[in-house]
Amino acid sequence: MADPGFLNYPGPKAFSEPESVAFKNFLAEHKKELDFVINAHSNGNAFIYPFNGRQKNDIEERRPGILSIFS
């Protein structure tokens, strides 16, 4: 995956692109105002509903009604 011409090239390091830095900074500045984040991927037209990186998806317990929006 070190080839920049590769379809899934991740970049030379985390947050190497200005867009990802801007998104990271926005989330850090507004983290107390956000209930969830939508992961949008340009490759594969993927839409991933929030599970907050937890082994057991407990988002419905923590934010009742949110999961039905994404289901």
Q: CA 60, CA 29: separation in Å to the nearest integer?
A: 25
Domain ranges of the chain: 18-70
Enumerate the β-bridge partners of residue 40: 47
Pairing of strands 39-40, 47-48: antiparallel
- Render pLDDT for 21-55 as a digit per residue (tens, 0 to 9): 998 999 899 988 887 766 655 555 555 665 556 67
**Radius of gyration of the chain measured on its C-alpha atoms:** 15
Contact assessment for residue 15 and residue 24, using Cβ atoms and an 8 Å cutoff: yes
Q: CA 54, CA 44: separation in Å to the nearest integer?
A: 23
Which pTM was predicted?
0.49
